[in-house]
Amino acid sequence: MQEKAPSPDLSALAASLSGLATLCWKQGKYEETESLYQRAITLQEKILGPDHPDLAASLNNMAGLYIERHEYKEAERLIKRAITIGKKVFGPDDPQLASRFTHLASLNVYQGKYKAAERLYHRAISMEEKILGFEHPELMYPLGGLALLYLVEGKYEKAERLYHRAIAIAEKTLDPEHPKLANILNNLASIYVFQDRHKEAEQLYRRAITIGVKAWDSEYPDLVTYRENLENLQHRRTSNKLKQASSSE
């Protein structure tokens, strides 16, 4: 309808293309997603100019697609361009800018650049605490990202503290069964597994699954992962019991 209009609103068309791209991405249609984002970006550059916030959002979204496809150099180029636009338009104290530092930090984790990632996560956390306050739900993302980095590095106590803070924020500011909480619970459970705190891990996995069942279809990837993690934990506990029984005979 937008394309066939006598005087089409190209800005609205670009927004529709970007929205459709996001939907296709969630369905795993990566080639179609890339084509739609590229079309939206081309329109936004033409109509809105090279420094518009809507363009920055599209660049950031397309970077996420490239990260998922392991095209890290292209993803980094797009995120840095989105950050440059944000700084120019909104200045250094914009929440969207903080979220893009979080995105760039995640990219550095995928590339094994852990020190750079840690610095970016801390920068994003400090910005959001300053701009949004210490209990804003947006803080869950850099807190969770930094916690996951510490988990990868085996710094379990640091990771656990951050996950507990993220959970407290989620429970206070969101619905206690909000799907954003499920992933944090799952990751904290993983720490408990590494520490052989199996009962605590099982409780968290079950809570994450309960949230996921209410929020998503049964084949949703995150929900499938939570169930697999719980199943693996149960196998691990059974194996440990068998070993203990065998050694006592």
Identity of the residue numbered 93: D
Q: What DSSP designation does 93 have?
A: -
Asked, for residue 200, whether it belongs to a domain, the answer is yes
Asked, for residue 18, whether it belongs to a domain, the answer is no
Q: Using CB atoms within 10 Å of the CB of residue 174, give its burial: 0 to 12 exposed, 13 to 18 middle, 19+ buried.
A: middle
CA dihedral (145, 147, 153, 158) in degrees, to 10, reads: 160
pLDDT tens for the chain, residues 1 to 249: 776 767 767 778 888 888 888 888 878 888 999 999 999 999 999 888 999 998 999 999 999 999 988 999 999 999 999 999 999 988 888 888 999 999 999 999 999 999 999 999 999 999 999 999 999 999 999 999 999 999 999 999 999 999 999 999 999 999 888 998 999 999 999 999 999 999 999 999 999 999 999 999 888 889 999 999 999 999 988 777 666 666 655
Asked, for residue 187, whether it belongs to a domain, the answer is yes
Asked, for residue 44, whether it belongs to a domain, the answer is no
Asked, for residue 27, whether it belongs to a domain, the answer is no
Asked, for residue 157, whether it belongs to a domain, the answer is no
Number of domains in the chain: 1
CB 79 within 8 A of CB 100: yes
Segments forming the whole domain that contains residue 229? 175-238
Asked, for residue 167, whether it belongs to a domain, the answer is no
Cα–Cα distance list, 95 to 4, 131, 225 (Å): 37, 7, 31
pTM: 0.83
CA dist 39 and 157 (Å) reads 45
Asked, for residue 179, whether it belongs to a domain, the answer is yes
Tokens of 53: 């916030």
